[in-house]
Structure 1
Amino acid sequence: MASPPRSTRRALCTFITIFLLLAGLAVLIVWLIYRPHKPQFTVLGAAIYDLNTTSPPFISTSMQFTLVTRNPNRRVSIMYDKLTAYVSYRNQAITSSLALPPLYHATKSTVTLSPVLGGAGVPVSVEATNRVGDG
């Protein structure tokens, strides 16, 4: 099977190069127009209502966190379809996972959430139970 003529290969390479340059230019223009920034999440406060470590290896707890989210973008809105929250201590979850409602973040907006996390006992290692109980 004969290889394609040299002019065909050159035309194909030129086409691919021009296509990649135009695609890169389009991405750059979109980025310059929108200038997207990451949303900011801050925990303003926390309250521990219940912390029970009397039946190792289970921890039952009830906590509430005040979480502030900020969208610094002027032209980009954000829609969170699925948000989940849980509390961990030394890389072990000490509350079960809680599904938060969908959240729409308009441009230049701030949203405050105050979920209550916890409930039934969650199995953890005995070391984590002892450390949490010691304070």
Structure 2
Amino acid sequence: MGSASRAVSCLCCPCKCLACGLFSCLCSILISLLVTLGVLALILYLIFRPHMIAATVDSAALTQFTLSTNSALAYNLAVDLTVRNPNKRVGLYYDNVESLALFDAQRFGYAPLDAFYQPTEASTKLSPSFKGQQPLDGDITAANFRSQNTAGQFDIEVKLNAKIRVKVWAFKVPGPKVKISCPITVPAPNPNAPAFQPTDCKVWF
């Protein structure tokens, strides 16, 4: 009875049956494509096993870091950091590279850096420097500055942002934007200040 009803329905409206057939075919193709892409992604992951980028601030030095009575920060900060690509089969291109320096969550320094390529299992040395004058907002920030100045060291955050391109064999594909955050404690510009301690950074995509 059901088969006869469907046959009658198709005879009455062949366009409806054709549409249903096409929809079913498209669904099957889409499901097959998704499964194929999923298997391919799993295979590529097992082959390349991508690892997170690593970064370390090797040294940081302040030759000037003073806050005037009108809350203008005069600064001269030099930083040396190492960015590592731990992947064995994936090369990385870093584009639109920029570095920033912040005190008490307020940006005081900005320095663009040259784009660079990082081969597999390679490390790249970067040396951003920040020099200038920048107003800082808030009495709390001024109080934090005075307290840290008395302690002889400053808590500064250095950030590195870049757009990644991934090289797999001869192929280059767009990648995510990488954000590297390095919270460091930098000795005040004082010859008797303690030595800087190398610090690992945090990496986000």
Tell whether the structures are fold-level matches, with TM greater than 0.5. yes
Aligned equivalents of 2:59, 2:85: Cα separation in 1: 20
How far the C-alpha of 1:4 sits from its partner, in A, is 4.3
Within-5 A mapping of 1:1-135:
3-5=16-18, 6-95=20-109, 97-119=110-132, 121-127=133-139, 128-135=141-148
In the alignment, is the contact (CA less than 8 A) between 1:59 and 1:129 conserved in 2? no
Deviations 1:63-96 (A, max 9, x none): 111211111001111111121112112211122x
Aligned equivalents of 2:56, 2:30: Cα separation in 1: 45
- Structure 1 residues not aligned, in runs of 5+: none
Aligned equivalents of 1:131, 1:29: Cα separation in 2: 52
Letter in 1 for 2:116: L
> CA RMSD of the aligned region, Å?
1.9
SS in 2 for 1:82: strand
Aligned residues: 133
Letter in 2 for 1:122: Q
How far the C-alpha of 1:8 sits from its partner, in A, is 3.4
Aligned equivalents of 2:118, 2:106: Cα separation in 1: 30
Deviations 1:82-130 (A, max 9, x none): 21112112211122x10011121111111122222122x1121132233
Q: Percent identity?
A: 25
How far the C-alpha of 1:51 sits from its partner, in A, is 0.7
Aligned equivalents of 2:28, 2:138: Cα separation in 1: 65
Runs of 4+ in 1 over 2 A off after TM superposition: 1-12
Letter in 1 for 2:73: I
Letter in 2 for 1:87: A
How far the C-alpha of 1:3 sits from its partner, in A, is 3.7
Distance 1:116 1:4, change over 3 A: same
Q: TM (normalized to structure 1)?
A: 0.86
Higher strand fraction (1 or 2) = 2
Q: TM (normalized to structure 2)?
A: 0.59
How far the C-alpha of 1:55 sits from its partner, in A, is 3.9
In the alignment, is the contact (CA less than 8 A) between 1:58 and 1:129 conserved in 2? no
Distance 1:52 1:64, change over 3 A: same
